[in-house]
Amino acid sequence: MSKLRFRVVETAFKKRAAEVPAPAERPSDYFGQNVFNRAKMFKYLPEKAYERITDCIDNGTPLDRETADAVAAGMKKWAVEMGATHYTHWFHPLTEGTAEKHDAFVEHDGKGGMVEEFSGKLLIQQEPDASSFPNGGIRNTFEARGYSAWDPSSPAFIVGDTLCIPTVFIAYTGESLDYKAPLLKALEAVNKAAVDVCHYFNPDVKKIYAYLGWEQEYFLVDEGLYAARPDLLLTGRTLMGHESSKNQQLEDHYFGAIPTRVMEFMKDLEMESLKLGIPVKTRHNEVAPNQFELAPIFEECNLANDHNLLVMALMRKISRKHGFRVLLHEKPFKGVNGSGKHNNWSLGTDTGILLMAPGKTPEENLRFITFIVNVLMAVYRHNGLLKASISSATNAHRLGANEAPPAIISSFLGTQISQVLEHLEKSEPEDLMLAGKQGMKLDISRIPELFIDNTDRNRTSPFAFTGNRFEFRAVGSEANCASAMLALNAAVAEQLKLFKAEVDAKIADGKEAFAAILEVLRKDIKECKAIHFDGNGYSDEWKAEAARRGLDCETSVPVIFDNYLKESS
């Protein structure tokens, strides 16, 4: 591209950047201003309707039509005051993107005029055409009817002049046609199963939340250069040409100073994200040139997933205001790192306990080890399914390419947790007795406090324990996180149910509860040992060892997808 063209682009960028107003307020002042959150509900809803809708969100109680009408009226009043003229049911079809059909707040008034209207019926359910969306072969093309149904647990928000209502998307016959419906089912399943196991340690627990913290990697490319590359334009990645003379050989881009032009884009993106209630926190240069990362504070899994999809849409929109195009393809350029989306996952109780975090007493640490081992068992039993949940033709370009974990699911635990599990595994049955409820008759009772982050990290592990959570590192940058999260939460829910059934059977035979828990844990630690690997996942030795252990080592994406058809899946 000529120097003149570069100067024209730079001038246009400066003009656009000057048009982006910097907010006078602090981020905390405008956080969530475009979201119908609890503060807005409290302001715009009658007291009775507010209590019922919050009870529905918190406890899953059914919502009656009277309350739905009241919520719709309050939501419309707020949206109209915010300048909205339309509303849409916003859903997640199986396209890795989102979909929406806009309707205006208008109906005939019966007198030849129009009246603005939005009822509970319109809020709760809509009927978009389902025939043109992918459905995995469960529906014929001519079977067109589908329904979108309101998800009250994810708050409505405004983009432009449109009120967006998060919804599930199902077929006329009831099958899920989206990612959100099965994700919500998986989250409810892990809630019920984990609550039952938590009651061994704390009978006061009433609800378990699955948390997700995603890390979104992406590339920014000058819009003029992007337009000059038909391969980038049509496929999102380069297919021809030669590598740049300087790629990432010196690794000097990672965590480097953020370029001024990019910083203006990031500021604009953060401001719009915060207005939509997305708690963005971290921004930095990634390893490859012109590669960057954005990450938020952790949120409940369903809401976090909605927010990630919103952020990707905002990126595409805002990048063009700054003369950029954003690339979310997992491997847009040869010779430099591709982009992923690490999914940091954990479980927590309504009493404030993070189940993946060590405690300060042996009893708390037994609870911690119980959930760690059950997660490992779930990953071991369904390692092929979890790989299918993150597989795509685009992500296959990146996995195992010295920048991302390999296409073999294993779990890194670190030195201390590995030693604790090894000790439990090798203990004799008579050592697995309790010294009352104050501690276990184990070496673990002599170290009543486990410390977080006392070991190295392993970038080659697809499913690594990182102190108080597991990091599912194999998810692709343009993927819908729900694909991985529904598989993981469903697998963990199944395993927790199996664990409780085994423990209860031993209690019924006369064993003390904690002794029964230890006995089942010891068995499970031995069984899932194959999934535990703290070494170099890139090595040829590991590929051979993983095959010997019976782990799924398939690398062909179409064949990997066969895991969805297994009876166990």
Neighbours of 415 (CB within 10 A): 11
Please compute, for residue 321, the number of CA atoms within 13 A of its CA located in the half-sphere on the CB side: 18
CA distance 250 to 136: 45
Residue pair 500/197 in contact (Cβ under 8 Å)? The answer is yes
List the helix and strand counts (H, then E) for the chain.
18, 19
CATH number belonging to domain 187-565: 3.30.590.10
Residue pair 357/372 in contact (Cβ under 8 Å)? The answer is no
pLDDT per residue as tens, the chain (569 positions): 444 444 545 555 555 554 555 666 888 889 999 999 999 999 999 999 999 999 999 988 898 999 999 999 999 999 999 999 999 999 999 998 999 999 999 887 777 777 788 999 999 998 888 888 888 888 887 888 899 999 999 999 999 999 999 999 999 888 999 999 999 999 999 999 999 999 999 999 999 999 999 999 999 999 999 999 999 999 999 999 888 888 888 888 888 899 999 999 999 999 999 999 999 999 999 999 999 999 999 999 999 999 999 999 999 999 999 999 999 999 999 889 999 999 999 999 999 999 998 887 778 888 999 999 999 999 999 999 999 999 999 999 999 877 788 899 999 998 888 888 988 888 765 454 433 334 444 555 544 455 555 566 777 899 999 889 999 999 999 999 999 999 999 999 999 999 999 999 999 999 999 889 999 999 999 999 999 999 999 999 999 999 999 999 999 999 999 999 999 99
CA distance 135 to 113: 41
Distances in Å between the alpha carbon of 345 and those of 82, 302, 312, 348, 391? 35, 12, 20, 10, 18
Terminal-to-terminal C-alpha distance of the chain: 52
Residue pair 472/345 in contact (Cβ under 8 Å)? The answer is yes
* pLDDT value, residue 12: 54
Give the residue carrying structure tokens 């940058």: 477
CA distance 493 to 488: 9
Give the residue carrying structure tokens 């070496």: 443
* pLDDT value, residue 428: 62
Residues of CATH 3.30.590.10 domain(s) within the chain?
187-565
CA distance 321 to 509: 68
CA distance 318 to 146: 32
* pLDDT value, residue 17: 52
Q: Record the tokens describing residue 214, joined without a space.
A: 């995603």
Phi and psi torsions of 459, nearest 5°: -75, -10
Cross-strand bridge partners of residue 166? 90
Three-class DSSP labels, 240-260 = CCCCCCCCCCCCCCCCCCCCH
Please compute, for residue 380, the number of CA atoms within 13 A of its CA located in the half-sphere on the CB side: 20
Residues of CATH 3.10.20.70 domain(s) within the chain?
31-177
What are the helix (H) ranges across 172-300? 180-198, 223-227, 230-235, 260-275
Residue pair 360/367 in contact (Cβ under 8 Å)? The answer is no
DSSP code for 211: E
CATH number belonging to domain 31-177: 3.10.20.70
CA distance 560 to 351: 39
CA distance 257 to 274: 23
Residue pair 481/213 in contact (Cβ under 8 Å)? The answer is no
What single string gives the DSSP state of each residue in 383-444? HHHHHHHH--TTGGGTTTSSSS--SS--EE--HHHHHHHHHHHHS-GGGS-EETTTEESSGG
Give the residue carrying structure tokens 């209502």: 165
In terms of Cβ atoms closer than 10 Å to its own Cβ (0-12, 13-18, 19+), residue 502 is middle
Cross-strand bridge partners of residue 220? 326
* pLDDT value, residue 116: 80
Cross-strand bridge partners of residue 280? 296
